[in-house]
Chains A and B, each alone.
Chain A
Amino acid sequence: MSAADAPPAALGDLRVVELAGEFTGLAGRHFADLGADVVVVEPPGGAAIRHLPPFVDDDPHPDRSLRWWSEAAGKRSVVLDLDLAADRSRLEVLLGTADVVLESDLGARLAAVDLVPDTVLARHPTLVWVSITPFTRDGPRDGEPACDLTILAGGGPMWSCGYDDHRLPPVRGQGYQSHQMGAVYAAIGALAAIAARRRTGRGQRVAVNLNAVANTTTEIATYNWLSVQSVVQRQTGRHAAPVVTEPLQVRTADDGYVTTGVPPRTPAQFAALAAWIAELGLADELPEVVFLQQASDPDRALGAPEGNATVDAMAVYSASRDAMNLIASRLPALEFFVGAQRRDLPVGAVLAPEEAFENEHSVARGMQVPVDHPELGRTVRYPGPPLRLMRTPWRIVRRPPTVGEHTADVLAELGADPGPLAG
C-alpha cells in the first residue's frame, strides 16, 4: 500500500521523541502503532534492550533482538551520544519539533545532559514530557534499583498470584507486565496532556509511577484493604480472596486445563448442561443430573416466583459443578470451551500464548500482522492490534529500525548540521 492509499493515522499529527530507556519502549509502541512519528534516540551501540534475548535464530546481534522488535516496531532510530555537545545540540533541534518526550531511567543523568524537564519545557513550552519511573522521581525511594520482578513483588500483584499450597512462593506472571501497565498509562497521560494543550497552548510534565501503577492494578486486594481491612490470600487458578473458595480449574482429556468460572444459574443453562451430559453418554456416571433436569423447569427452579422453588438449591449447585467438571475431564480443552460457550455456559480454555495466537478466532480477526523484514528475506507475523479503530486503524508501518538507521534522514529533515556523527 502506498502512502497515498494508506488510511489516515489516528496520531499522525504527533511526533514523539523516545529517549530509549528501560520502561519507554512499550509506551513508544502505542504511539507508533497509532500513527505518530516515533523517533527513538539511542546511544552509540544501540539501546540496552537490543542486547537482550531472545534473538532471531539465537544469533545475538543488536538488530536481531526480539525484545527490541517487540518494543520498537514502527519507530525510527537516531543514534546520538548525549555526552557530546554536538549531539546534545542535535537533540535540542529534534525536541523543538516534538510533541511528546518519553523517558524513563535518565534520572541522575538529566542535569549532566542538559535535559532537566522543567528547563527543557522552558525552552520548548509546548512539549509534553513523560517520565516512567519505578518510584516517584525525587521522592523518598527515588533511585532504588528495581525491575519487573521486584515492582510486582512490592506493588501488590504478586501477593495475589500463586497456589493454594502456601509452601510454594507467590508467582509473577510473565510478559513484563509492570512495563505493560506503565506503558498504557504513559499513553493515557500524554494524550490527556495533548488535549489540554489544544486549549492552553502549553505542554506539561506527566509522571508515571510503576509502583503506584502496580498498587492500583490488583482488583479486590487493594479495595478490600481500603474499605474493610481484609487481606486476600492466593489460590490456584482463581481469585485471591479473604476466604478459601472452590477450585475452578479442571484438567482436561488432552492434559490441558479449563476454567469453569461462574456456575450455571438459569433454568436454560441447567437444561443445556443436562442435555450435554446426555449427548456425551455420561448420565450413568452422574445420577445427580436429575437435579439439573428438575432445575430446568422455570416454575420450580431457583429463580422461580417466591415460595414456588421446590428444587434443593445446594443439590443443583453441586450437580452443575460436578457436571461441568465431568464434561471438562472427558473433552480436549478447546472443545470443552466451544461446546460450553455454544450452550451459553461461560468458560475458558487455558491456552499457551502461541495457541491463543494461532486460534481460529484470532486468525479470523486479523491478529496476525505480517511485517516485512527484507534483509532477512522473511515476512514475520507480529501480534496485534489491541484496538480496532474503524476509521484510523492501528498498524505497524515498518519493521523495527536497525541501530541508527534513520539518523541521517531525521537530521536532514531537521536541517540540523549532520557533521561527523556519533556511532
Chain B
Amino acid sequence: MTALEHVRICDLTGQLAGAGATKILAALGAEVIRVENPRNQGRWDMMRTVGPYVDDRRGPNLGVGFNNHNVGKLGVTIDLADPRGKELFADLVRISDAVTENFAAGVMDRLGFGYEQLRGLREGVVYVSSSGFGADGPYREFKTWGPIVQAMSGLTFTSGLPDMEPAGWGYSYMDHMGAYAMALALLVGLHVRDTTGQGQWIDLATTEAALTLHGPALLDWTVNGRGRRRPGQPNGNHAIYDEMAPHSVYPARGDDCWVAIACRDDDEWVRAAGVLGSWAHDEQWRTLAARLARQDELDARIAAWTADRDAEDTARALVAVGVPASAVRRPPERIDGDPDLAGWGLFPEVEHPEIGRTRVEGLPIHLSETDWSIASAAPCLGQHTDYVLGELLGRDADTIDELRAAGVV
C-alpha cells in the first residue's frame, strides 16, 4: 500500500514551483490529475515546451523537465473558459480532496473557481494556491519567477563573496523550496480535513516561504540591529557568524576543480593539521579566535596546499581523520559516482511514450512501510482524458467524442 492512496488531487499547477509539489504527493500514492488547457496545448506550463530535448523532435510532450516534474500523474485537458468545460471541472472538484494551482493571484476567481465556489462543490476541500507575493498586499498583482523570488527575499543577496556583485543561486532554488512548502501545505490541509472534516484555503507566497529561510539572520537584525548588508559581507563560503574556521572552498588540481573544508571545533582543526602538514601544527593556529583573526592568511595557506592536489584525494584524506570535506562535485560525479545515492535508488527510470526510457529524480526520503514509487512518466497532453471523463466523471463515449470535437477537451 501507499501512504496517500486515499487522496485525489485536482491539479492545475505548472512549472517546477507548482508541479514539483504534486509530484511528491503522486510518488507517495495520491491520484494527481493534471488539468490543462486544450486551446493552447497546455502551454501555460512552459515546461512542456522548453528544453532540453533528447533529440531533434519538438512538441508539448517532449520537454524532459516537464517529464521530470510530472511523473506519476494523470493528464486531462479541459477548457475552463467553456461552460461545458466548467461543468466537467466542477464534477472533478466534487470527487477531489484537494485543488492546487499556481496561477497569478485572482485567476481562479475570474474563472469562477475561487475558494468559496470550490467548497460549495466539495465540502472539506483543501485548496492550496501558490504565487510569488500571495493573495493580498501591495505586490499581489506582481509576477515572479524563481530568480525574482530569490532576489526579493534576500536569498540572492546572501549568496556571494564580500564586496562583490551578488552571485545568487544559479537556478530557481525557490521553485524547489516553493514546491516543498506547497507539498507540506497540502499534507497539513489534508491532515486537518481527516481529523476534523474541515477544509480550508492555504495561501502560499513563495517570497514569504523564502524569507523564513535565513536561519538566525533576521533575529540578529531585530534583536541586535545587525543586518547582512555591511562591509565584508556576505561571504557565503565562510561561516556566517564566525563559528568555524577554516570554512571555505579551496582550489584543487585541474580545471575549475574545488574542495570544501570545514573544521567545526579546535579538535577537528588539530586532526586536519595532521593532513595539511607541519605549518598547521603551529600553536598560532590552535584556537578558533586565532584562526579567525588571520582567516585570510589561513585560507591562503590551505589553498596553497590544496591547489596541487586532487579534490577527491584531499576530501578523502580529511574525512578519514573526521573532518568535514567534499569536492565541489559536477553533475556526473555526484549523480553517477556516489555509492550513497546508488543504494538509495534516487534516480529511477520511467518509460515515456514519446521520449523513451529516461531517468528522473526520485524522492530523497524513504518510508519503511509505505514508501514512494515512480512507475510512470509524465502524462502526454490529454493522455488520460478518456479515463477521467469516462471512469471518474461518468461521461459516455459519445459525449466525450462530442466534447472533443467541440475542442472542450
- Interface pair B242/A53, CB less than 8 Å apart: yes
Residues A160 and B170 in contact, CB atoms below 8 Å apart = yes
Residues on A with C-beta less than 8 A from B64 are 223, 226-228
New contact pairs (13) apart from A154-B315, A259-B168, CB-CB < 8 Å:
A53-B242, A150-B324, A153-B326, A154-B326, A171-B167, A181-B177, A192-B4, A341-B142, A346-B142, A352-B158, A360-B138, A386-B208, A387-B181
Is A2 an interface residue, CB under 8 A from the partner?
no
The 10 closest A-B CB pairs, nearest first, are A353-B154, A348-B148, A348-B151, A212-B364, A154-B326, A173-B159, A153-B260, A160-B170, A391-B200, A240-B170
The answer to whether A266 has its CB under 8 Å from any CB of chain B is no
Given A54-B224, A169-B251, the answer on whether A259 and B334 have CB atoms closer than 8 Å is no
Interface residues of A in 338-355 (CB under 8 A from B): 341, 344, 346-355
Residues of B within 8 A of A209 (CB): 340, 344, 364-366
B3 → chain A, closest Cβ, in Å? 4
CA distance A360 to B328 in the complex (A): 39
Residue in contact with B192 in the complex, picked from A10, A156, A180, CB distance below 8 Å: A10
Residues of A close to B328: CB separation below 8 A:
153-154, 158-159, 169-170
Query: Does B335 have its Cβ within 8 Å of any Cβ on chain A?
Result: yes
Q: Please indicate the chain A residues that have their CB under 8 angstroms from the CB of B150 in the complex.
A: 348
Known: A160-B171, A257-B165, A357-B211. A350 touches B184 (CB 8 A): no
Contact among A149, A217, A389 with B189 in the assembled complex (CB-CB below 8 Å): A389
Interface contact B68-A226, CB-CB below 8 Å: yes
A-B contact pairs, 29 of them (CB 8 A): A53-B242, A54-B216, A67-B216, A147-B244, A151-B326, A154-B315, A158-B260, A161-B167, A161-B236, A168-B161, A174-B215, A174-B217, A175-B214, A193-B367, A195-B190, A206-B367, A222-B335, A223-B68, A227-B358, A228-B53, A239-B170, A262-B145, A341-B139, A349-B151, A352-B157, A353-B228, A387-B202, A392-B188, A392-B192
Which listed residue (B166, B218, B340) contacts A354, Cβ 8 A? Answer: B218
Q: Give, as a whole number of angstroms, the nearest-CB distance from A328 to chain B.
A: 12
B107 CB to nearest chain A CB (Å) = 15
Q: Are B344 and A171 in contact (CB under 8 A)?
A: no
Rounded to whole angstroms, the CA-CA distance of A120 and B144 in the bound complex is: 46
> A153-B326, A226-B358, A388-B202 are contacts. A204–B219 as well, Cβ < 8 Å?
no
Q: How far is the CA of A364 from the CA of B133 in the complex (A)?
A: 11
User: 0/1 per residue, B180-212, Cβ < 8 Å to A?
Assistant: 110111011111101110111111110111011
Which of B144, B168, B322, B364 makes the CB contact (< 8 A) with A346?
B144
Give, as a whole number of angstroms, the nearest-CB distance from B100 to chain A.
13
Contact B211 A66 (CB under 8 A): no
A161, A227, A337, A362: which contacts B208 (Cβ < 8 A)? Answer: A362
B305 at interface (Cβ–Cβ under 8 A)? Answer: no
Contact B180 A188 (CB under 8 A): yes
Q: Which residues of B contact A261 (CB under 8 A)?
A: 145, 147-148
Q: Please report which residues of chain A, range 229-283, place their CB below 8 angstroms from some CB of chain B when the two chains form the complex.
A: 229-232, 234-240, 248-249, 251, 257-259, 261-262
Taking a contact as CB atoms under 8 Å apart, the answer to whether B202 and A353 are in contact is no
Chain B residues lying within 8 Å of A173, measured Cβ to Cβ, are 155, 158-159, 169, 173, 236
* Complex CA distance for A205 and B249, rounded to whole angstroms: 35
Tell me which residues from 277 to 299 in chain B have a Cβ below 8 Å from any Cβ of chain A. Answer: none
One of B146, B207, B331 near A221 (C-beta < 8 A): B331
Quick check: is A135 within 8 A (CB to CB) of the other chain? yes
Contact of A385 with B208 in the complex, beta carbons under 8 Å: yes
- A105 vs B353: C-alpha distance in the bound complex, in angstroms? 44
Q: Give the residue of A211, A232, A356 whose beta carbon is less than 8 angstroms from that of B154.
A: A356
Using A209-B344, A348-B149, A390-B201 as known contacts, say yes or no to A236 and B167 having CB atoms under 8 A apart: yes
A20 to B4, CA, bound (A): 29
Instruction: Give residues of chain B (111-139) contacting chain A, Cβ–Cβ below 8 Å.
Output: 115, 133-139
CB distance B214 to A195 under 8 Å? Answer: no
Closest Cβ of chain A: how far from B123's Cβ, in Å? 13
**Would you call A380 and B147 a contact (CB within 8 A)?**
no
**Structural contact, B223 and A56, CB atoms closer than 8 A:** yes
Shortest Cβ distance from residue A335 to the other chain B in the assembled complex, whole angstroms? 14
- A365 & B134 in contact (Cβ 8 Å cutoff): yes
Q: Are A159 and B330 in contact (CB under 8 A)?
A: yes
Say whether, besides A174-B234, A365-B208, A390-B201, A149 and B227 are in contact (CB < 8 Å).
no
Cα-based distance from A384 to B24 in the complex (angstroms): 24
CB distance from A24 to the nearest CB of B (A): 15
CA distance A34 to B221 in the complex (A): 25
Is A23 part of the contact surface with B, judged by Cβ < 8 Å? no
Minimum CB distance partner of A347 in chain B: B148
Quote the shortest CB–CB distance from A249 to chain B (angstroms): 6
Q: Is A89 part of the contact surface with B, judged by Cβ < 8 Å?
A: no
Give the CA-CA distance A210 to B340 in the complex, in Å: 11
